[in-house]
Amino acid sequence: MLGFSNENKVGTIQLHDDALVVALKIGGYDVKRVLVDPGSAMEVMYPDLYKGLNLKPEDLTAYNSPLVSFEGKTVTPRGQIRLPIQTGSDIVEVDFIVVDAYSPYVAIVTRLWLHALGAVSSTLHQKVKYPLEGWVKEVIGDQAMARQYMVSAISRWPSAEPSTSTENGL
């Protein structure tokens, strides 16, 4: 049975609110800084991974729906590409939406990948668990990396300008 217990917290820094950031094999390459986001509905690839995989515009198929970046800006995707993600000996093919936008991550994998793998994730336990040949396998998150890249993302956000208006005369 796939599930998590307090024993699965061993090796993690508790209490935390860290994102689940893992390393996966994507398109045959070991890729770090992959965000697992079970709340999203589409896999996303950012420029660092696009360049690292030596992809070219002709490798992409059309994808015309705009997305919203981490910075809250509307982004028009470059296109879409189907690539394998290998976890252990299990391979799942997913469609990545390729965008030119800043992200502290190189890719985001979502519930589509989790469902295809038959996996469950837990940010609290910093793990993804999935069944493979009668066993439960794990992908373990990298909390230090998650914290480092969150600081990077926050430092890029524009500073909020102080409000010059007062509410209720205060």
- Residue 1 within a domain: no
- Residue 165 within a domain: no
Find how far residue 143's CA is from the centre of its chain. Answer: 13
Print the domain residue range for 117: 9-156
Domain count, the chain: 1
Mean pLDDT for the chain?
A: 85
Q: How confident is the model over 112-165, as pLDDT tens digits?
A: 999 999 999 999 899 999 998 889 999 999 888 787 766 665 565 554 444 443
Evaluate if residue 79 carries a pLDDT over 90.
yes
Average pLDDT over residues 12-39: 91
Torsion angle of C-alpha atoms 105, 109, 111, 115, degrees rounded to 10: -150
The CATH number assigned to the domain holding 13 equals 2.40.70.10
Average pLDDT over residues 59-80: 87
